[in-house]
Structure 1
């Protein structure tokens, strides 16, 4: 691992929300909508450690789902609009909120992964390679 003493600590939430490098906060993290660059253009950090998995999608489902269900219930109980109006209102809003929050949440998860040196879990080798029958 490279020496981090040359880089002041970066707030992982603000760096992640902005889609910036979790080490220097200057370079960009993403090459496309959700694709990661190979490394940071500013500090050279290799992004091969970054694996957010399904974490961002789970948070998007929970956050967007809570907002949409609350709004649907409020509108339904207050105005009782026809079902077609619910579809016209909530399907585009759900898609927009989900797409709008997925990238920032992925950036935050990668920045937190870097900050806490999170790695893939491994099982400890308890018998040192020997099979005890």
Structure 2
């Protein structure tokens, strides 16, 4: 198995949507669909199951960076709810969906750094099997 990349390198490559190992190949086929293998270096990207982690981290980030400051804007409290709720929901949906690919890429980059794959847990070696 190839050596895992450095933490900052894997995270920054993942944030850019690039392969965490080589940094050249695209990580995603489409919006959130991960390429089975890196087109540049051929590493198996499908072995890093992101599952629900990126969604939870995206909600955490959006909640702290957007929702909390939004509550300090007087328009949110004083405006008519029939206008405030749809506008806020459309804005939150757009922000959340724009953050999700970055967070998923960073999450997969972190998994590559930890060498946490679907077939093994972090720190597990073949000698322990």
Q: TM-score, normalised by structure 2?
A: 0.79
Inter-partner Cα distance in structure 1 for 2:24 and 2:58: 26
Q: How far apart are 1:53 and its partner, in Å?
A: 1.2
The aligned length equals: 119
Aligned Cα RMSD in Å?
Answer: 2.5
The 1:91/1:43 distance shift into structure 2, 3 A limit, reads same
Residue 127 of structure 2 aligns with which residue? none
Cα deviation digits, residues 17-47 of structure 1 (max 9, x gap): 1100000000000001110111111111111
Cα deviation digits, residues 63-95 of structure 1 (max 9, x gap): 112334324421247861111221232111110
| Bigger mean CA offset, 58-67 vs 69-78 | 69-78
Residue 26 of structure 1 aligns with which residue? 24
Q: How far apart are 1:48 and its partner, in Å?
A: 2.4
Consecutive aligned runs of 4 or more in structure 1 exceeding 3 Å deviation: 7-10, 76-79, 119-122
Write the mapping of 1:35-74 to structure 2, written as runs, cut at 5 A.
35-74=33-72
Larger radius of gyration: 1
Q: How far apart are 1:50 and its partner, in Å?
A: 1.2
Structure with the larger helix share = 2
- Gaps of at least 5 residues in structure 1 are 123-133
Are the counterparts in 2 of residues 68 and 90 from structure 1 also a CA contact under 8 Å?
Answer: no
Inter-partner Cα distance in structure 1 for 2:18 and 2:67: 32
